[in-house]
Structure 1
Amino acid sequence: MNHLSQSLVVLERPDPAILLLRLNRPRQRNALSAALLGELADALRAARSDDCVRCVVLSVDEHAFSAGAEIKEMRQHGFEALSDPTRQDAWDIIAGFPKPLIAAVRGVCLGGGLELVMLADILLLAEDSVLAQPEITIGIMPGDGGTQRLTPRIVGNPLAMQMVLTDEPISAERAVAAGIVSEMLPASQVLGRALAIARLISNRAPIAAQSAKESSQAAYETPLSAGLAIERRAIRYALTTNDPKEGMAAFIEKRQPLFSGN
């Protein structure tokens, strides 16, 4: 367990197959500085190549998940703060993480924070949380995917544009209804539920889980015919591995499968 106080992202292993990442800039309400994004990307890069890690949970210790981008960096450097290649590489690594990623959100989740958790495969939200894209209040607009992932891919244009153009936050209840999050829970239960889901996923066939994620992401970026072709290639590959043999044998023998990821 790595729990250094100066770490902007704290790494924990609540289970051998689960990596828990906690954003750790509480005084800045976890504003997404270039340094924090870099540490998060480094942790996910290492998790990508660690065969023991089958699922990652992203969370925080404090009540604010993230206040968004680091305004001081943007004020000092302007567009270069967003276009810096190192920062862009970090976002690309996070967006391209191939293993299941769960976000457990408590408190406010604003701007870049919302853009970050929209990269998760499963998003759990505390019932007292609020989500917003407030960039327009400082004279800019979302710059890390907010206009693209909210609309039309998740909530549809009317609600997305209302959020982007007005700064009006939405409640956890409305976020569930809009399809942004999968579950709303009491704040004290969000992380526990996320870890429980992570344990379920970590007991599933890892190649199948990663292939399912890849195919699902393709649906956002390709026509249906191309997405179906990607799905067929993924299932064809999965059937060449040992896990389906183990899964089918366990089903017939009425026992729990032991998936190896090979």
Structure 2
Amino acid sequence: MSNLTRLTAGDAELTINPGHGGRIESLRIGGTELLKQGDHYGSFPMVPWCGRTRDGVFRDGAALHRLPLNAAPHAIHGTVRDRAWTLARTDGTEAVLTCELDDPWPYKGRVTQVLELAEDRLTLRFGVEAYDASFPAQAGWHPWFLRNLGQGGRDVELDFAPAWQEERGADHLPTGRRVDPRPGPWDDCFGMPDGVDATLTWPEELELRVTSRAEWVVVYDEPEDAVCVEPQSGPPNGLNTLPRLVTPIDPLEVESVWAWRRL
């Protein structure tokens, strides 16, 4: 496809599709693909909210706003993964993309995404700006890492040490109670107040460490073929429970680093 943008550094190759939600379609290390392939997979941006927003409704002061129910009865993963992004610039190892925030999001603003590839890491950054009226927002990443790299090796092992787990209700949203981390499989949000730090290890093949100063991570490892480790700036339904206000002079900025090494 002509609209794909490719970055290379050493034997690392990153493929971005600005026209398909600004998502990462492929991350290959030494020719080995790390991400599940397909229209809904790879790694996509979650902006201006992450995970589910209860009943597609959030309040901003006295104002009540309704969002499209794309995961009925809830609204999920923001709006920008379904939009075309603009490639602002690229130089072979770095790409900058932008996407306007507008209908069905009730405020005007812009999201900037920066992707910087090095031989041993990928640095990802989001900036969320408000043009005029302030608004609550979240930003995060939803990567679908392959459970098995298809080279005859063993399945991935996930290691992380959260301070707590958000108790999940029957509606898949946090109940408001924090509990001790429970065994998986998970489709759950965890708190890491010192920053997200999770390591995926494909034994005898590759180790990939996901870090971020963000304090929340959702882990989704129920699928047979993928494991999702999702650093994000707030918990599911956070527009209602833990709003972070974006103003014209105070953007929301979030960064994550994926660093790897061969085993």
TM-score in same-fold range (> 0.5): no
Higher helix share: 1
Higher strand share: 2
Task: Calculate the TM-score normalised by the size of structure 2.
Answer: 0.26
The structure whose Rg is larger is 1
Larger RCO of the pair (alpha carbons < 8 Å, separation 6+): 2
